[in-house]
Structure 1
Amino acid sequence: MVPLSLLIWIGLETALYLAIARLGLQADWAYAAAGAVGGILGMRAGIVAITWMFGMAFASPAPRLGAGRTARLMLEEYAAFLFTFILVLPFERLWMPADRPRTGQEPILLVHGYGCSRGVWWLLRRRLEAAGHSVASLSLTPPYASLGKLEPLLNARIEALCKATGSSQVQLLAHSMGGLICRSYLARHGRDRVSRLLTLATPHHGTELARLGFGRNAREMEPGSLWLSDMAGEPLNGPTISLRNAYDNYIMPQDNQRLAGARDIELPPVGHLAMLYDRQVATLLIDCCSEGNKTQ
């Protein structure tokens, strides 16, 4: 659903920019095409800029990075945003072939965040598999449904994965909103099927940016929402790691990523989407997952 929606959106947006240039400005096709590309890039630059403005306006205390490092952080996040939503997700099948979990080995199940699909994991899945892990994924649809409505999809995928691999449990590795859905699963089904939960930049106590989001799940991720208040009372009852990004541009205040009862690990400075491609973050996740396998 997300790949098709993005393709349609990009097509309509391109057509609009071309129409404005050709009919409104009387530009020839070369200038109209250049204007359409500029419009697409400019629109996404504006979206990313808004996330950083929110991130700074509601920032939790953290050491200053300096102008050069901050600029690099923003540019890397902009590149990750363009790459993810223009090249990867619309063409997900080219980047993310079917899962190939191994029989007899406990799998790592990757759970994506808000407005995305399993395609966001294409590089990290490769890195985890290269490190010897068995890895699987899922797409949560419809993308803007209530968090509670998305949880049954996770439950079904876990059961199917355990049956296919012969493993009694899985490790859950979740990015952003995906961590909330994993916690919803644990609240409903317990730990029988889950050996360990790793959340990556998850808004455990909500994010101010959710106030600009679409859908029921965005409302549930607003700080102080009833959904988050109810979930706060659910015990973790098992190994949980919260990997927290002190400079996140989607989850703010950034300390809302902290989760009582979970082991807290601070990530290196990185953007919210850029972390999915970052080698340092990948190494950290591989180490955490390998540590989980050793304790089995």
Structure 2
Amino acid sequence: MQRIWVLLRLAAALGVGWRFGWAWGAATLGLHAAVLAFAFVQLRWVNRPAPAWGQLLRAWVGEVVASELAFSWRQPWREWAEPDHLPAGATQGVLLVHGFSCNRARWNGWMRRLRAQGVAFVAPTLEPAFGSIDAYADDIEAGVQRLKALTGRMPLLCAHSMGGLALRAWWRRHGAGHAEAPRVITLGSPHQGTRMAALGLGVNAAQMRQGSAWLAQLPGMPDVDCLWTPCDQIVNPAERAMLPGARARRLDGVGHMGLVHSDEAWQLVQDALTSSLSTPRRI
């Protein structure tokens, strides 16, 4: 679907450029950035306290780049550019869980860096893309088991957006089968729902709506860091990205997709991996 969307955008830009001039064709490609600008402006009235205009501008610029990189290049064409990494003798593992309307290529940058560090990782593509979030629990469990078998310990679990809810659905189904609770990092996950889910398609979008019965029955997890931003154009109002009882970490001037590219998120992963070295492996 994303490949078709990229080709349609290019065809439309070429058509407009051929008919009205190439400047107009380039402007056609920029419509996505214009829609994003509106999404950020409205956050001045949605979030309290309101993010500053300078923060919104910085977040918008970064989001244009991050969203184009994800939806026009990595996800349509580079899903398996970075395969799962399970090197013999690895002592640490990370499970990477993507969000709504994405695939495992969302994590290509992180996977490349983890591979260079010798850290094992698994990044499933969650399917069906627009099915129930509960359907992703078994794929997540399979990834956890692969990493536990290799490293002898529970992996670090990192999730973006809807992926944080998928982890909670996994914990509800499979948590009793694990002797230890995982360390979890969520980036812009709608733990308390988001009003923007009303615009989404599919069962999973309905589950993410504010006040959904499914979300109300979803359990929490015991060891979670929630990264959130008042400039999140997808999960808002902003406090909806915070799981009650979790450690909330605020990032300013960053949009929803940009959270994965933030230095703060990567540093939190590094800190979590460092702290896990003090936990003995289970042989």
Measure, in 1, the Cα distance between the counterparts of 2:82 and 2:241: 31
Which one of the candidate residues 55, 60, 77 is aligned to 1:91? Answer: 77
Q: Distance in 1 between matches of 2:79 and 2:236?
A: 32
TM-score, normalised with respect to structure 1: 0.83
Structure 2 vs 1, CA of residues 55 and 209 (structure 1 numbering), >3 Å: closer, same or farther? Answer: farther
Q: Which residue of 1 aligns with 2:2?
A: 6
| Contact 2:56–2:253 under 8 Å retained in 1 | no
Say if 2:130 is the partner of 1:144. yes
Match of 2:249, SS state, is strand
Shift of 1:270: 1.2
Tell me if 1:187 matches 2:175. Answer: no
- Decide whether aligned partners of structure 1 residues 218 and 293 sit closer, same or farther in structure 2, where only a CA change above 3 A counts: farther
Please give the residue correspondences for 1:156-175 in structure 2 after superposition, counting only pairs within 5 Å.
Answer: 156-163=142-149, 165-175=150-160
* Aligned equivalents of 1:286, 1:61: Cα separation in 2: 30
SS in 1 for 2:255: coil
Q: CA deviation at 1:291?
A: 2.2
Cα distance in structure 1, aligned partners of 2:139 and 2:234: 24
| 1:157 to 1:219, Cα distance in 2 relative to 1, 3 A | same
Q: 1:134 aligns with which of 120, 131, 146?
A: 120
- Give 1:10 deviation, angstroms: 1.7
Query: How many Å apart are 1:178 and its aligned residue?
Result: 0.2
AA aligned to 2:49 is P
Give 1:57-136 correspondences, 5 Å limit.
Answer: 57-61=45-49, 64-65=51-52, 67-93=53-79, 96-104=81-89, 105-131=91-117, 133-136=119-122
Question: How many pairs align?
Answer: 277
2:280 is aligned with 1:291:
no
Please say if residues 12 and 28 of structure 2, whose CA atoms lie closer than 8 Å, have aligned partners that are also in contact: no
- Which runs of no fewer than 5 residues in structure 2 stay unpaired? none
Identity %: 29
Answer yes or no: is 1:49 the counterpart of 2:45. no
Encode CA deviations 1:147-181: one digit per residue, 9 max, x unaligned: 11222222232233434x25342221111110000
Secondary structure in structure 1 of the residue aligned to 2:183:
strand
Q: 1:265 Cα shift?
A: 2.2
1:108: how far off? Answer: 0.6
Q: Which moved more, 1:113-122 or 1:188-197?
A: 188-197
2:191 partner SS = coil
**Structure 2: which amino acid aligns with 1:9?**
W
What 5-or-longer segments of structure 1 have no aligned partner? none
The CA deviation string for residues 259-285 of structure 1, in whole angstroms up to 9 with x for no partner, is 122222223431111121222331233
Deviation digits for residues 24-61 of structure 1 (CA, Å, limit 9, x no counterpart): x4x5xxx3x6544432221x113323432453332142
Q: What's the RMSD between the two structures over aligned residues?
A: 2.5
> Aligned in 2, Cα 1:168/1:282: closer, same or farther, shift over 3 Å?
closer
Does the Cα contact within 8 Å between 1:60 and 1:255 map onto a contact in 2? no
TM-score normalised by structure 2 residue count: 0.86
Q: Who is 1:38 aligned against?
A: 27
Query: CA separation of 1:60/1:167 partners in 2, compared to 1, >3 Å: closer, same or farther?
Result: farther
Paired letter, 2:68: L
* Separation in 2, partners of 1:150, 1:54: 32
